[in-house]
Every structure is written in C-alpha cells, then in structure tokens.
Structure 1
Amino acid sequence: MPSRQLSTLLLYSILFSSFFILSACKSTPEPVKTVHVTPKKLSHLPYDAATHGKDIVDTQLALGDRNLYLASNGNIKMLSKAQCQIDISAHRGDFRQPESSYNAISAALNDNFNSVEIDVMLLGDGTWVNHHDSQTGRATVHYTGERFKLERMNLKEFKRLKLRDKHNNNLLNERPITAKESFKIFAAQRLPNQKLNVEIKSKANGQKLLELDNMLRKYVGHEGYYFSSSEQDTLVKLRGINPIVYLGFVQGGHPTSIDILRSDLRKGASNDAYYLENHTNIERASNYGTKRYRSRYQDHTSTDALKKLRAKLGYNSGIHLDIRSYMQNSGVKQRAQRLGMKVYSYSLNGTDYHQSQLLKLSKNNLPDGVIVDATPYKICQQLFNAAVPAQRYQAVTDLGQYIVSLPVDADFDRFKEMLGYQHEGYYLSLTSGLKSIYSAKAKVVPASTPTPLLEHGFPTITDEKIDTHTGDSIILTLPSSNAK
C-alpha cells in the first residue's frame, strides 16, 4: 500500500477513535423525556380530559357516575348529551370570554355547544368583521377613547380597537377579529356536528352577501354554517344566493322585555362608574324601548304570519323569538313544525330569566333550540336531568367521596368554588346558591352594602338563630359564701 494512502487511513482512524472517546466521556447524559401514560381506567374519556394529578382516577370515575368529566382546562363537561334533545347555541361565543375574540369561539367549541352564534357587520371599506354593536365603546374601545361608528371605519382603524374584559371592564391587549378570521378559527377547531350561526347586523347588497357566503363555503364548508338576521330583506337575498342554507328570522324583543332592559340600563347608569361615563350613549342605544317601538313591533307567530315568512325564506327556515314572546304564544312551535320551520328562543333579560321560563315548559313544548349565555351542562341538567348520579361507583378518596355525596342540583359549573366547602358539608346549587348537603339550607343575611363574599356571588352563612324571648322567671337560691 502506498505510504500516502496509509497515512490517510491512519488519520481517519485517529479521528474516529477520538470522536468515539469524546462521545463516551460526556459528563452530562441526555435528558430523558417523560412520557405521560393515561391510566387504563381513564382511557375511555374524551381527548381533552384531565388524566394526571392527585386522585385524578377516583375524581374522574366519581364524575363519570354523573355523566361528567374534568377537562384539562379545569371545566366540568358532559360525557354525553344524548339526553339533551335541544340545539344549544353559544350567544356571541362563550359567555365567559370577551366578545368578538378568538377565545370566545374557541372556548365555545371546546365546551361542546351545538352551534356558535357570532354577529357580523360591514365596515365603511366593505370588510366583514365580527362585531355586535354599531359603534365602539361597550365591548370594543378605540385607542383614543373616542367612539366610532363601524360603518365609518376601515380595516386599519378596526385593528386598532381593544377588547374589553367582561368581568371588570378593563381593556385587554387583544383586538377584535374579522369575519374571515372567525370563520378560519371555527373551521380549524369545530367537530363535524358543530355549526356556526352567522347573524348579520348590517344591511348589505347582494354582492356583499354573496362575498360573505363564499367565504363561509370556502373556510367552513356548506354544511357547517347557517344565517340569521332581523332583516327579512337580507334573508330573502341570501335565499337567492344559497338555496339550501338554513335561514333564521330574528323577531324583535317583546316590548315588555325591551322596557325591562331599558330600566336595567338606567339603573346601571346611576350606580356603576362605567355606565355613568357612557350614560348618553346608553340612552341613545335604548331609545327603541319606547312607545314608538311598541307601535312598530310586529309579531310573526300566528299561522298566517308564519306562512308568509315561510313563503319568503323557503323550506329550510325558522323564527328566533324572545323567550317572553315564545311563552305568550304557546302553540307557535306546533304551528311552525306543520310548515317545516324551526323555532329558537333567546332572551334580552338575562340567562337566569330565560332558563326559568324554559323550566315551565314540558319537554315536548321546548323550542328546537336556545341561544344562551350558559354552558351546555347547565342547560341539559336543568331541562333534562342529564347529569343525575347513577350511584354505581364507590369513591375511595376524600374528593371522590365529596363528588359522590353531592345532590342532583349541585352546580358543577362552579366546581372549583364548591371545593372550598368540601370539608364543611356545603355545596353550590344550580338554583339556590349555597346549601347544606344534608338538606339544611344556609341562611343568607340581607346586606345594604356588598361584602367581599357577596361581590363574588357567595351568600353569607349565619349561625342558627337563638331564641332570646324571656319566659317565666326562675328563682335560684345560691348558698352563702359562709356556708360550710
């Protein structure tokens, strides 16, 4: 072998040996990645279930006995909604999240709503955006603090808006999203049976409505969305564009509901700093709650009115009613069904009022769907008892035993709060606040000024009342101190 080739071979051998020795002499070993393995007993749970943590197996099995499970985000969700024979739509997305936000849509989908309702309107430059109000100031705020009408804004100005936190009215470092962004978010995270309810707030010509429908077909798919609007002309145009999509006519709020809403806004304006600052604008926004509104209000629940509506909107259509209107027209569902139409209910006076009215109805008389600011669990449990304990599981941990001991009306939407009463024998009820597990209701002390507990929705627990009424006197003779 030539000496040059031999030298090259020796050089490669030395380099290889050096590399091997250096690799073997590393002082720090490669970190071992920890792979979490789902306990076998929890393998049946949905993909988003919490599967690790202290007592997680017992906790999940105790919840599972009630058709519930703990999700990884800390929320309690239903394992099955098979008993819940009603379409539940998230009003403007998840009610716990800021309006017009990514999280409002994402959280509603994650919480297994059947559909997610969003409001869309046109900016001055023709861009469709996710926004409910015709002007800024309530849910969204311009960086200058000025109020702007959306019909006079362009997309660049819209993107400068900030969202407002629902819970404390603080501004967030987050902007509202456009309609296209909303559609993309929905499409990326939806389950096959979930739909997007697009309520159109702007008057738009056929070209802009065609653009909107094309965006939805492109990003969501033709079976993944439907439209609603309070403008029949808008819905008629949409029927000409899309002959098969569901169209829901939103009938205006009942005049009494409007009066109550207006009164509540005025009370808020006199007591709350945020509303006080916006008093003029609130009055302007609530002007429709007047005699003029009552004179213009039209009810479309009669058979003749429904027939006319059906003739305009076509076969796949329905009417969305304020719950007060629905309750005062008890036969509207049957009349609509005979025409092949659906009926949804909503409320201007809060989700508690909405649910209290639904509870008065038999299951057969419930509307086809509800647009609510509540969780699917709460609606399903209150209307269908869909989370009743089967009493087939024997818990072994303190937490599991507490879950098993909770009565049927326990409010699992407030599960984290409820754990604070785990060792005190109390729980939070869906309808009555704080109660004793052993049927002794906790007493609430009326207060003229809110206490820290009351501000967070907790009632104050008081000791048992002591009878201080004096009866007949009892004379006791004490022995003298000199007595032996």
Structure 2
Amino acid sequence: MKLSQWLLCATALLALAGCSSSDRANHFKDEVPGLDFLPLGAEGRVFKLSNYTPQEVQDIQYALNSRGLYWTAAQTPAYLKPSQCPIDIYAHRGHYNYPENSASGVFMAALGGFDGAEIDVMLTRDGYWVAHHDSYTGRATGRHDGERFRMSRIDGDEWNTLVVRDKEGHLTNERAPYVIDMFKQWSNSFYPGQQLNIEIKEDADIVELSQLLRMARSTLPNGSYFFSSMEFDVLKKLRELDKHVYLGYVWEPHPTSIALAKQTARKAARSDVLYQKYQRQVNWVSDYEARKRSRGKSQKHSANTVRQALGSNSGLHVDIRSFVGAPTIYSRSKQAGLQRVATYSINGTDYHQSQLVALKKARRSLPDETIMDTSKFEACHRLYPQLTKKTHSYQPVTDYGRAIMRLPDDADFNRLDEQVMYLADNHYLSATGRVLTLNKTSIKAPKRRTTKTTATSTQTIFIPKDETLSLDSTPINIEIPN
C-alpha cells in the first residue's frame, strides 16, 4: 500500500480513537454501501484500498460472510469471530505485508484480524527506545546514501535519518519509528482483546526499563500490551516495577533450528536472491551469535523457575521445534502455574505451520499462542478448514463472489483472481498451495515413502529442572550486503 493511502487510513482511525463501538460505526460513511455489519477494519468500510470495484468488494464481502469470514483492509481474509480459532496468532513484527517494526505494520496488524502484534524494542546510545530488531541498520531500515550504523552506538540524531524498507527491500518515505510512535499507533488502532507484545532486545537496567514502562502506561490502555524477552534478568526487573503485567520468557531456539538457520545463512550470504528470501534468518543468526558472545553461556530456565521468579502472570515462549520435541512441555508449564505457552520459529512460517498440523494430527496439545509471518486466518485455516463451511446461502453477482461460494473449505481464499481461472477448469488452489480438482474424490495423491512426520523428534527435549543447557556451536561471520 502506498504511504499516502496508509496515512489516510491512520488519520481516519485516529479520528475514531476514544469513541465507543457505536460511535465509531456512526462516525464515518462507508466507502462501499451495505457493509455496516462488518468490523471497521474491513475492506470497503472507512476506506477502500483494493483495485476492485465497489460492486466487487460488496460481493466478496457478502460471499465471505456466508462462510463466517470478512476481507480486511490489509487485503487478507479474517474470521468474523476471532474466537472461532482456538489459537491466538500474533503478527510477527507487525503485519507481514508491511515494513517490519513500522507504524504502518502495527496499524495493519490491528486491522488484519490478529489477536495482537509483536514488536522488537532497543535502546540508542543516548537512551531513546526505538523499534528495531537487528544489531545493525541496513536491512529493515536504511538511508539513501547506504550508510549503516551499529545499534549499540547509534544516537537519536542518526536514528532520525533512517527510513524503513518495504518487503522488497526498497526504502520508503516512512521514518524509522521510536517506541512511543508504535505505542501511540497501537493505542489508536487496536480492537478490544488485542495485545501488543513488546519484546525487549536489550539487557537494559532498571532505570531504562522504568522509562519504557512509563511510556507504555501513559500511552497504552491497561491490558492492551505485555512484555517478553530472552533476557531473564530483564523480566525479573520488570516484575519488580510492575506486579501485574504479563511477562513472556523467550527460550533460545532448539540447537537443530540454529544449525539449520546457519546453513540457510551460509547459502543466502552468497546469493542476492536467497538473501532477500531469507534475510530475517540471516540477521537472526548473526545477531544471535553476537548476543551469545556478549553474555557468555546460554541458559534455559524451567517452567517452575519462571513461575517462582515472575509469578503466575507469565509464560514460556519457545521454538516450535522444542515444543514438538517435548510431549510434556505444555502440561508441565500449566502444572507449574504459567498462564501461556507460545511458539515461534526461526526456520520459516511454512515449517511452523507444518509442525502445528502434525501436532494436531497426533492429538497433541497446541500452544496457546503463536507468533507468525502470516495472517491468523491462514494459520488457523490449515488446522481447522471446517471453520469456512457455509453458514447461509448467498447469490453472488460477480466472478469473485461466485468463486468464493464454489470453493471447498480447504481452498486458499487469498488468491481470488487465480481461483477464478482455476475454477473455470474445475480445479482450485488449496490452502497448502496444491492444485486439486473440484471433486477431490476423483484423485488421490500418491503415498510418499517417507518416515512418519508426526509431532515427534529423534531428540528428546524436556523442560529443564533449573540446569543450564549448552547451545554452544561454532559461530560464523556473515557479511550482510547494504
């Protein structure tokens, strides 16, 4: 979406800030008539950002509505009732179609049908909290002259010269945000029940954390945010400052995940195409090595230790590979009294999704929450395709509406233009990317001779009883191109 369009959207919702839901509904005339039964974040309500005609937008919305869905302004389907999906899905560094750790990404995450958004926060040398993930600028943020900065040395004046990059790596006109910008954007955009996950990437002291907490308290409504960190001492300091806010302790990734990420990074560092595709993994590896060297030996604290240090309003955030490999990780965390168990992955969203599907097939407990670079609908649709069953009839009037009404429950509802073409030949695209016949009973995919890929692992992983786990591995040095 162009910056001017996003600013228009942001201005519209800023004007709605503080209004009740009924006030909001009456404040603006919908861009497309007849959609007042949909959330304000729906395409065609306060704004229309797609190239479809008003009639097509209306037809798409009515057809999706017959399946318990709606089309968001972020151009992705969403459930009319977020509680339809039993797992909470958080937008990793903001909406995946927008610049990461940006105000526009957080804004669209609020409108995109997520349960919340995750952002990374760091300190400049002169004490400003900014939204950024990497140890260097250049990948997600940059300058037109190509100069890069080490985040541990950058100051506020230098930060002011940076803008964020879009998903293709191009510099935008949107400036790199301070944390207070992100907080204000979330406060003016989020819907009841959504939360902002503020992941702290610094080993900050109690004075610096007190400043961050004051900003959150003064800007964000109570209950609309929480903190997470891989730095256990940071969370203990935060608990001293706030007895009630939820705190998520982030386990370091599984050793196999780290090894695979390094392998990907080695390949990507030699190829511009691969670098663009895997740039998040590349920077994660280099940053992980830097943090590991700075703090020495790695640790993973047990659920009982987390409960004792942080209280019941805390949880474990673990690599999906660790979650899959530990059959008792969920039950033991709950027995310890932790509120949540969340999963993430450094090996890509497809892998994360495949492991959740394997867990469900094995009738294993699923996490309470996942952090992903995809929409809540896409993540849940692979697990619960039956949620898109038609609840009532509707007579569509455009090709897009007719396609939505014809598609099976397991179809990809994002790619409507392609679905129209495939349906003309009695085929469709499934949510997993396969081309299937409309009557799937007529074909069967051949069975592959592979080992059973259920939610098991050759390595036994367990929640440690306060012991230190060594994640030592040979570091690699990667030159990241500007």
The 5 A counterparts of 1:37-76 are 42-47=35-40, 48-50=42-44, 53-54=54-55, 57-72=58-73, 74-76=75-77
Q: Secondary structure at the match of 1:349?
A: coil
* Structure 1 position 86, deviation (Å): 1.7
Rounded to whole Å, the distance in 2 between the matches of 1:437 and 1:196 is 40
Rounded to whole Å, the distance in 1 between the matches of 2:121 and 2:288 is 22
Rounded to whole Å, the distance in 1 between the matches of 2:158 and 2:262 is 31
Q: Which residue of 1 aligns with 2:469?
A: none
The 5 A counterparts of 1:68-467 are 68-72=69-73, 74-166=75-167, 168-272=168-272, 275=275, 285=286, 288=289, 296-300=297-301, 305-341=302-338, 342-362=340-360, 365-385=365-385, 387-390=387-390, 392-397=392-397, 398-439=399-440
Is contact 1:135-1:147 (8 Å) kept? yes
Task: Give the counterpart letter for 2:427 in structure 1.
Answer: Y
Question: What is the number of residues matched between the two proteins?
Answer: 399
* TM-score, with length taken from structure 2: 0.76
The 1:80–1:364 alpha-carbon spacing in structure 2 relative to 1, beyond 3 Å, is farther
Q: Secondary structure at the match of 1:412?
A: coil
The 1:334–1:137 alpha-carbon spacing in structure 2 relative to 1, beyond 3 Å, is same
The 1:421–1:163 alpha-carbon spacing in structure 2 relative to 1, beyond 3 Å, is same
The 1:100–1:111 alpha-carbon spacing in structure 2 relative to 1, beyond 3 Å, is same
Which moves more between the two structures, 109-118 or 382-391?
Answer: 382-391
Q: CA deviation digits over 1:166-215, x for unaligned, max 9?
A: 2x222222221000000000001111211111000011111110110010
Which moves more between the two structures, 239-248 or 48-57?
Answer: 48-57
* Structure 1 position 60, deviation (Å): 2.9
Rounded to whole Å, the distance in 2 between the matches of 1:229 and 1:86 is 21
The 1:218–1:396 alpha-carbon spacing in structure 2 relative to 1, beyond 3 Å, is closer
Task: Give the counterpart letter for 1:165 in structure 2.
Answer: D
The 1:189–1:55 alpha-carbon spacing in structure 2 relative to 1, beyond 3 Å, is closer
Q: Identity across aligned pairs (percent)?
A: 38
* Structure 1 position 286, deviation (Å): 6.6
Task: Give the counterpart letter for 1:392 in structure 2.
Answer: H
* Structure 1 position 49, deviation (Å): 4.6
Rounded to whole Å, the distance in 2 between the matches of 1:416 and 1:188 is 33
* Structure 1 position 318, deviation (Å): 0.6
Q: Secondary structure at the match of 2:148?
A: coil
The 1:71–1:364 alpha-carbon spacing in structure 2 relative to 1, beyond 3 Å, is same
Q: Secondary structure at the match of 2:171?
A: coil
Rounded to whole Å, the distance in 1 between the matches of 2:315 and 2:70 is 34
Q: Secondary structure at the match of 1:133?
A: coil
Q: CA deviation digits over 1:416-465, x for unaligned, max 9?
A: 4434435333322111333332437899xxxxxxxxxxxxxxxxxxxxxx
Task: Give the counterpart letter for 1:109 in structure 2.
Answer: A
Q: Which residue of 2 aligns with 1:12?
A: none
The 1:153–1:274 alpha-carbon spacing in structure 2 relative to 1, beyond 3 Å, is farther
Which moves more between the two structures, 434-443 or 414-423?
Answer: 434-443
The 1:338–1:134 alpha-carbon spacing in structure 2 relative to 1, beyond 3 Å, is same
* Structure 1 position 285, deviation (Å): 1.1
* Structure 1 position 43, deviation (Å): 4.3
The 1:316–1:71 alpha-carbon spacing in structure 2 relative to 1, beyond 3 Å, is closer
When Rg is computed on C-alpha atoms for both structures, the one with the higher figure is: 1
Is contact 1:235-1:313 (8 Å) kept? yes
Task: Give the counterpart letter for 1:169 in structure 2.
Answer: G
Rounded to whole Å, the distance in 2 between the matches of 1:258 and 1:143 is 33
Is contact 1:90-1:116 (8 Å) kept? yes
* Structure 1 position 160, deviation (Å): 0.7
Is contact 2:386-2:409 (8 Å) kept? no
Over aligned residue pairs, what C-alpha RMSD do you find? Answer: 3.0
Is contact 2:164-2:174 (8 Å) kept? yes
Rounded to whole Å, the distance in 1 between the matches of 2:181 and 2:297 is 36
* Structure 1 position 386, deviation (Å): 5.5
Q: Secondary structure at the match of 2:67?
A: coil
Q: What 5-or-longer segments of structure 1 have no aligned partner? A: 1-34, 444-484
The 1:200–1:410 alpha-carbon spacing in structure 2 relative to 1, beyond 3 Å, is same
Q: Secondary structure at the match of 1:96?
A: coil
The 1:236–1:268 alpha-carbon spacing in structure 2 relative to 1, beyond 3 Å, is same
Task: Give the counterpart letter for 1:414 in structure 2.
Answer: R
Task: Give the counterpart letter for 2:128 in structure 1.
Answer: T
* TM-score, with length taken from structure 1: 0.75
Rounded to whole Å, the distance in 1 between the matches of 2:73 and 2:175 is 26
Rounded to whole Å, the distance in 2 between the matches of 1:215 and 1:197 is 14
Q: Secondary structure at the match of 1:359?
A: helix
The 1:164–1:432 alpha-carbon spacing in structure 2 relative to 1, beyond 3 Å, is same
Is contact 2:121-2:198 (8 Å) kept? yes
Q: Secondary structure at the match of 1:82?
A: helix
